[in-house]
Amino acid sequence: MKTLKYIFLVCTLILISSLSCEVLDEKIISGVTVDTHYGTPEGFEDAVNAAYQGLRYFYGQEDPCEITVFGTDEYTNGGHGGAHAINKYEAGLNAESESFWNPWQYLYRSINTCNAVVGRAPDAKIPDARKNVFLGEVRFLRAHYYYLLVELFGPVHLTLEETIGVETEANRTPEDQIYDAIIEDLQFAINNLPLTQTEFGRITKPAAQHHLALVYLTRAYKSYAKPDDFSNAATLAMEVINNSGHILLDDYQQIYNIADANGKLSHTNEKNKEIIFSVQYDINPLLNPMGNETHLYFRPWYEVYDKGGLVRGLGHGYGRPWIRFRPTAWLLENFRPIDVDARFLKSFQIVWYFNSTSGLPAGANLGDTCIWITDENLDQAKFNALQARLPYANIFSWNINDIDESWSLWRSNLSVTNNNINIFPSPWKIDDNLRSSLNEQEGSRDFIVFRLGETYLLAAEAMLGRDGNANNAVQYINTIRRRAAFDGKEPQMEVTANDVDLDFILDEWSRECFGEQSRWLDLKRTGKLLNRVKAYNPDAAPNIKEYHLLRPIPANQITRCINTYQQNPGY
C-alpha cells in the first residue's frame, strides 16, 4: 500500500478533477489519451489509486483539523497561530475562511476522481471480479467523501457522474438523498470487497461494514431517520467485531506506537490487527508530498519555558511545536482516576528533560527534569516537596476546582500567573521521530481513521439507541475499559448498565479516540455539540449558537455559480 498513494502524480495528468461551479483554476488536459489508458489494467488501477489521494488532503492537514478538532469539548486553541475564531465561534468563522474552502474543494475533486473511475469502468479491460473489488474501494471512498461533506455542510451538490470541463450550476441536494447514495455505495463495497487485502491500507469489507454502521448510526438521530437505523448499525458493528479477523490489542499504547518490539523506530507496527482503515504516509519525503502534519499541531511550546538546556529535536517527545490545539480541562479530567485508567499516562507526555548543554542551569545534568506537569492541586507543602525532588524543574499544575475555568492554572512559584496557553500535555499518538530533519513538516505516521476499539463503541451507542437502555451495550463498553486498565485494576474499570447513557459513551469515545478529527462530527451526530461545548470549552461557550451545527458554505462555491446556491442560515 505504501506504493499506492504515489500513483496520483501520474493520474493528475489523466483525471479531470473539476469542481461544480469552479471556473477560475481548472483546465482540461488532453496530453494523455485518457480513454486508451483507462482501458488498460494498469491505467484502471492507477485511476483507483488516485481516488485514495483525497484522504491525504483531509486527514492530517491543518484546515480539516481546525474544523473537526477545534470548538469541541476536547480541544481549544493554543496561544500561537491557528484559526482561533473557529474554536471560539467568532466572526472569523465565516464563508471566506480557507479552513472551509480547502476541504470543500479537495473533497469534491476527490469525488470527481471516484466518479470518473465508476463511469469509465465498463470500458476497462480487466476481469470483472478484480474490477468489482476496485470499484468497491472507489465507491467506499466516494461515500466517505460525501459523508464528510454532508455532515459538515448539510445539503450539498450531489453528482455521481464525472465532470468534464466547466460547470457553472450546482444545487443543494436534500440530505436524505445524499444519505441514500452513501448507503448504496457502501452496500456495493460490502458485497464486493474481500475481508483482507494483500496491500495494507486498501479498503476492505470490514472497513465498509464499520463505515456503513457509522452512517446508519448518524442517520438514526436525524428527522429523516429510518426505523431500523439503530438496529442496522448494531448488526454491522457486531459483524465486524465477531467475523472480521480484527482483534483488540492487549495494550492500548501499542495501537499508536511506531517502535518495533525491540524499541527501534519503525512503521511496522502501523499494520497492527486492530486497525481497520488508515491513511497511508511514507518516510521518503520524495514520496510524501502531503505528509501527516498532526505532529506539529498538538505539541506545546516546551522549548521556550526554560532559560536553556531544552531545545527541539527529533527524539521521542521533542518535535517541532506549532501549538495549535490545547486540551480542555474536561479532556484531561475525563481520564480520572489516572492510577486506574492507564490511557492518560499512555496517551500524554507530561515531562520534558534537559536535552542540551547550551544554557544548562548550574548544577543540572542532561536528563534532569526541565518541565513537569502534574495533576495535583498544589499547596505550598506539595509544591516545596516537588521542588526539592526536582530542583531544576519548571513545575506546572492544572488545578481544576471549577470546570468552567480556563483549562488550567499554571504555577511555577505558587503564585498564580496568567493562564498559560502554550504549555500543556502533548499526546504521544502524534509523535513522529522519523522525519528527515528537525523542522520537516511532512510527517510519515499513518493516520488511523477506523479501528476495532471504535467499533465496540459504535456497537454500544447503536444498541443504546435501539434498546432504550444499556443492558446490551454495557458489555462492549466494559471490554474497552478492561483493556484500558492498569494490570490488576480491571474490576475497578467496569461499569453497570445504570452507569451508561449517551454522555457516558461520548466520554468513552473521547478517552479512546481524542484528537482524531472525529470529535466535532461525533458531537453533532448525537445532538450534544452545543451542550457539551457550553459546559466544557469556556473559550467557545459564550458564542456557539444553533446555526453552528452546520459549517458555512464556502464563498467561492456561491460566487462561482451562475444560479443561486444558498448559504447556510446564520452566515
pLDDT in tens, 243-261: 999 999 999 999 998 876 6
218-240: pLDDT as tens digits: 999 999 999 999 999 999 999 99
377 lies in a domain? yes
Provide the pLDDT for residue 375.
Answer: 81
Provide the pLDDT for residue 270.
Answer: 87
Give the lowest-confidence range in 113-127, 210-224, 376-390, 536-550: 376-390
Cβ 441 vs Cβ 274: under 8 Å: no
* Rounded Cα–Cα distance for residues 5 and 130 (Å): 19
The more confident residue out of 380 and 430 is: 430
Does residue 98 register a pLDDT over 70?
A: yes
391 lies in a domain? yes
The more confident residue out of 402 and 443 is: 443
Provide the pLDDT for residue 377.
Answer: 76
What is the mean pLDDT of the segment spanning 374-385?
81
357 lies in a domain? yes
Q: Give 284's pLDDT tier (boundaries 50, 70, 90).
A: confident
The more confident residue out of 33 and 179 is: 179
Does residue 102 register a pLDDT over 90?
A: yes
Does residue 167 register a pLDDT over 80?
A: yes
Q: Give 476's pLDDT tier (boundaries 50, 70, 90).
A: very high
Average of per-residue pLDDT values in the chain: 89
Provide the pLDDT for residue 143.
Answer: 99
Does residue 34 register a pLDDT over 90?
A: no
The more confident residue out of 82 and 112 is: 112
* Rounded Cα–Cα distance for residues 382 and 556 (Å): 56
Does residue 384 register a pLDDT over 80?
A: yes
127-148: pLDDT as tens digits: 999 999 999 999 999 999 999 9
Q: Give 154's pLDDT tier (boundaries 50, 70, 90).
A: very high
Provide the pLDDT for residue 398.
Answer: 67
DSSP string, 193-238: --S--SSBTB--HHHHHHHHHHHHHHHHTSTT--TTHHHHHHHHHH
Q: Give 62's pLDDT tier (boundaries 50, 70, 90).
A: very high
Provide the pLDDT for residue 159.
Answer: 97
489 lies in a domain? no
The more confident residue out of 409 and 68 is: 68
Of 537, 80, 445, 514, the closest CA to residue 297 belongs to 80
* Rounded Cα–Cα distance for residues 494 and 305 (Å): 40
Cell numbers linked to 430: 502524534
**How many CB atoms are located within 10 Å of the residue 131 CB?**
18
423 lies in a domain? yes
Strand ordering across the sheet containing 394-397: 351-353, 369-374, 394-397
Does residue 26 register a pLDDT over 90?
A: no
Cell numbers linked to 128: 470483472
555 lies in a domain? no
Q: Which residues fall within 8 angstroms of residue 109, CB to CB, at 6 or more apart? A: 17, 18, 19, 54
118 lies in a domain? no
Does residue 350 register a pLDDT over 70?
A: yes
Provide the pLDDT for residue 399.
Answer: 57
Does residue 516 register a pLDDT over 90?
A: yes
Provide the pLDDT for residue 35.
Answer: 63
327 lies in a domain? yes
Domain that holds residue 345: 300-430
Does residue 338 register a pLDDT over 80?
A: yes
* Rounded Cα–Cα distance for residues 235 and 216 (Å): 11
What is the mean pLDDT of the segment spanning 75-99?
93
What total of structural domains would you count in the chain? 1
